[in-house]
Structure 1
């Protein structure tokens, strides 16, 4: 995870979103959550953040190493294969008040109610500014009209995500919905594809003509036409499509006239893995992909600088200060969400539950 997390230029907040942390099979979709999956990922993240970050700090300034340089997990939520993990540096938590941390999950896969597709979201206040982070895995498919299913799932996640009131949250500054927040970040395997035939897409990829290729990107079209995420932003994409790669550790896309293993999927390469944001006071500093090869996706990450409103102790007024959160949308690995799935759906699941 070292290269992906870019720890030499460490951020104040790390927000990681994963998909397919478990195989999307019938029993894992409708069965009980296995808490060890989230535990193992969080242990790996914590070890990587704290060991590598403190190593870089020690090399640059040996006297600066102290407990407040460590990162602490403040929220973690898993629904089937989708996992969100939020880490904040101790120094930041001592300087700024982080409060009202809440989680929400929406399952909108098979029959519109199972967790093979859907989202997990984390809401929190940092001083006087509300943040929401959403990790999502949307409907697969590159047939005409599949983008409509993804749009519908986005709408469902907006509609059905809710953050419960707490004993201290009866205040207008504690939003109950995603869009009620001041700073929102949405990332994941959004699965939007290209309106372009495979051979033409691969030709533009060989030329590394990302600008020309983006003209055929489904998500960009939807953003421009207001079909989904109206008013949201995405940084300029200056990297190769992240999906679909041949079996690890290959650097080749699947298909393209090349022989594949039996049952291998033929897919036009596409930017399935994306990071979007909404709200004022947010500046994107970096938007890149990494080259981890243990999946048929490549992970992406974005670095942001964002303002928060901080109370002045002298006059009680709110003054802006900057912090730097980083969002990671990783490639796929091999708590409870909406659990409306029933055993009577088993006959439907075997052929419908899989797919990325």
Structure 2
């Protein structure tokens, strides 16, 4: 009997030792993951930062790990992205965006970025930006995405939703944004994990985070008071949800830069932690005529970041270095505020920390050839030889910018600079060499992260401005929790 008790005691000690070793292994494995992630960010690699991250890992493993019965799966979603420099022109009601948005494909998410939606004059840059063009672009986008769901769509007037403001009064971008949102978007919270699924099953659940109300653009009331929000107002009654197929998630303007994200209305309930950041890189490095708007959000269990930028212009030798610096400063200085009150949340605060990232805009990189040499290659449609001289390609291959990012193969002609309302590059219609611009692929879309497949990368033939719009479609894997509401994604029908 005594020998039997000794054997049982030895077995208990062995099991305790095993549990201790497993616990220590879990601690140090978590520490390694956090330190590696931190050290991968060149702007957050200080010893204090790594130590703090390691300490957080000791506790956050308990708070954010999945429950034993929780299983996840990756589900593909289709994301459509477009960028267009519209040359300071306000759109007219007859402008049809169906072809640009490729509405027949019905993406799950639309990410649309514009540059120069207003003229970059002193009044817009230094005084107060004009939000009327942004409101008109939203109305046109809404008309294309929700056309078949709108009563009397054939005779619809896209700008009717802007109302009839008094003379000299501009339509409110806030009010326009709200009219294109479903009720689900208006209920978004700063931290709404419990709306996505039960807290105990959510790996990013914020156990200590109160359900702080957001403004109509997904920002907290404190941020609204700081003037950071561009959309949303409580004094307008939104259209009924029944005729909206797509809902506006966010619409943001910084002088001429405008970024808007739309989503199928049945998917809005899976969006959380919506945040916006602005970086000005214009005159003296601090004005908003150049720079970027970045949107961070969680969709199901995957974090996304969308960046719309307008970088430094110029085709003189060395101007590409200014553009490189713009990218470096944007990556370095863009920071998303902590909206979760828990100090142990794993939500990204920097661009590069997100799972899936898409960067779009007028990056302004030119072709490292003179005008005559460029024109000869254009006449032969020799895109490969021309692209070998593309500044962005050259700078990326040198490792000076966008290291680790990807861009699809370019099979289309340079998108800049065209004469107004024509298919002729402006260099062919001007006599002065000072006014002549060498054609270039200024308008680009890049991405970063695993689980992303680019399905198309094209330009569209719209003569509205001196740039041609560029579009891309992605098939993106998103981590979802099995048991949560699922839907038949259009991604399955490619």
Per the normalisation by structure 2, the TM-score is 0.58
1:76 equivalent among 251, 257, 260:
251
**How much has 1:254 moved relative to structure 2?**
1.1
* Residue 252 of structure 1 pairs with residue 427 of structure 2: no
Query: For the structure 1 residues 169 and 267, does the alpha-carbon distance in structure 2 shift closer, same or farther, using more than 3 Å as the test?
Result: farther
Match of 1:4 in 2: 100
Deviation for aligned residue 1:33: 3.0
The size of the alignment, in residue pairs, is 304
Contact 2:106–2:490 (CA under 8 A) maintained in structure 1: no
Which residue pairs with 2:112 in the alignment? Answer: 16
Q: Which residue in the other structure is 1:197 paired with?
A: 370
For residues 68 and 307 of structure 1, do their structure 2 counterparts lie closer, same or farther at Cα, with a shift above 3 Å needed?
A: farther
Distance (Å, rounded) in 2 between the aligned partners of 1:24 and 1:80: 8
Residue 91 (structure 2) pairs with residue 25 (structure 1): no
Matched residue, 2:7? none
1:147 aligns to what SS in structure 2? helix
Residue aligning to 2:481: 311
Q: CA separation of 1:139/1:169 partners in 2, compared to 1, >3 Å: closer, same or farther?
A: farther
Structure 1 CA distance for aligned equivalents of residues 337 and 392 of structure 2:
31
Cα shift readout 1:273-304 (whole Å, capped 9, x = no counterpart) = 00000000000000000011110000000000
CA shift for structure 1 position 222: 1.2
1:8 and 1:53 in contact (8 A); partners too = no
Instruction: Report the counterpart of residue 317 of structure 2 in structure 1.
Output: 144
Q: What does residue 272 of structure 2 align with?
A: 99
Contact 2:252 2:258 (C-alpha < 8 Å) held by counterparts: yes
Of the structure 1 ranges 69-78 and 178-187, higher mean CA displacement relative to structure 2 is found in 69-78
Query: Superposition pairs for residues 1-356 of structure 1, below 5 Å?
Result: 1-51=97-147, 67=242, 70-94=245-269, 97-167=270-340, 170-247=343-420, 249-256=421-428, 258-259=429-430, 265-313=435-483
What stretches of structure 1 of length at least 5 have no aligned partner?
56-65, 325-356
Q: Which has the higher strand share?
A: 1
Q: Is the CA contact 1:68–1:89 (under 8 Å) kept in the aligned structure 2? A: no
Q: Hey, which bits of structure 1, 4+ residues long, moved more than 6 A?
A: none
* Deviation of the 1:40 alpha carbon: 2.2
- Separation in structure 2 between the aligned mates of residue 282 and residue 323 of structure 1, nearest angstrom: 16
**Distance across 2 between alignment mates of 1:232 and 1:272:** 17
Q: Aligned to 1:255, what secondary structure does the other structure show?
A: helix
Question: What secondary structure is seen at the aligned counterpart in 2 of 1:45?
Answer: helix
Rate the CA distance shift 1:172–1:68 in 2: closer, same or farther, 3 A.
farther
Q: Given the two structures, how large is their TM-score scaled by the length of structure 1? A: 0.80
How far off is 1:54 after superposition?
A: 8.0
- Once the two structures are superposed, residues 231-267 of structure 1 have per-residue CA deviations (whole angstroms, 9 ceiling, x without a partner) of 00000000000000012x11100114x435x898211
118-127 or 263-272, which deviates more:
263-272
CA displacement at 1:199 relative to structure 2: 1.3
C-alpha contact (below 8 Å) 1:4/1:290 kept by paired residues: yes
Following superposition, the deviation at residue 207 of structure 1 comes to 1.3
How large is the Cα RMSD of the aligned pairs? Answer: 2.3
Q: Deviations over 1:51-90 (max 9, x none)?
A: 05889xxxxxxxxxx9487000001111000000000011
Q: Which has the larger radius of gyration?
A: 2
Q: Which residue of 2 aligns with 1:59?
A: none
Query: Larger relative CO (CA 8 A, sep 6+): 1 or 2?
Result: 1
| Secondary structure in 1 matching 2:268 | helix
Which structure is higher in helix share? 2
Q: Could you say if the C-alpha distance between residues 265 and 170 of structure 1 is closer, same or farther in structure 2, counting changes exceeding 3 Å?
A: farther
- Listed one character per residue, the Cα deviations across residues 147-181 of structure 1 (whole Å, up to 9, x for unaligned) are 00000011111111111121467554321111110
Q: Retained in 2: the 8 A contact 1:201–1:268?
A: yes
